[in-house]
Copies of this chain bind each other. A is one copy, B any other.
């Protein structure tokens, strides 16, 4: 599959917003575009740098929070304490994320990837503990840097 065209991305952006009953505004289109035109995850800072000249810092925060609430993006915790955001797959619905994939942070290029196809073995917890959610973050060297 080749690179997506600007038109294709634009259509996808509109669809995504409508599907989630969100009004179509400049900041939402711009930020969603950023996610769609590249494969990895974005830190808040990245987004602010790329969209922030045009939009207020507060708007970026509120837009991302809206996307998380609606199940359009999900957050990825990292060791350096900076939240990353990545697009959810279609199955995520409002207030209920289904992202059970693991995340990979490249120590070289610092990009973060959702590895959707990696299956993780069930974890046997000690007696008395019950799991609700498991978060796996792998740090290493990515495909492009290897």
Interface on A for B, CB 8 Å cutoff?
Answer: 75, 77-79, 81-83, 102, 104, 107, 115, 117-121, 123-144, 146
**Contact status of A129 and B104, CB under 8 A, knowing A81-B83, A134-B136, A137-B77:** yes
**Contact status of A141 and B137, CB under 8 A, knowing A77-B81, A125-B104:** no
Q: Chain B residues near A124: list those with CB within 8 A.
A: 118-119
> Are B121 and A142 in contact (CB-based, < 8 A)?
no
Q: Chain B residues near A133: list those with CB within 8 A.
A: 138-140
CB distance from A100 to the nearest CB of B (A): 13
- Copies of this chain, whole number: 2
> Are A136 and B136 in contact (CB-based, < 8 A)?
yes
Q: Chain B residues near A120: list those with CB within 8 A.
A: 121, 123
The one of B78, B117, B119 that contacts A77, using a Cβ cutoff of 8 Å: B78
**Contact status of A142 and B118, CB under 8 A, knowing A81-B77, A135-B136, A137-B135:** no
> Are A138 and B143 in contact (CB-based, < 8 A)?
no
14 contacts between A and B (CB under 8 A): A75-B79, A77-B78, A77-B137, A118-B124, A118-B126, A120-B123, A126-B143, A128-B143, A128-B146, A129-B141, A130-B146, A132-B139, A132-B141, A134-B139
The one of B119, B132, B146 that contacts A129, using a Cβ cutoff of 8 Å: B146
Q: Chain B residues near A128: list those with CB within 8 A.
A: 142-144, 146
Separation of A10 and B13 alpha carbons in the complex (Å) = 61
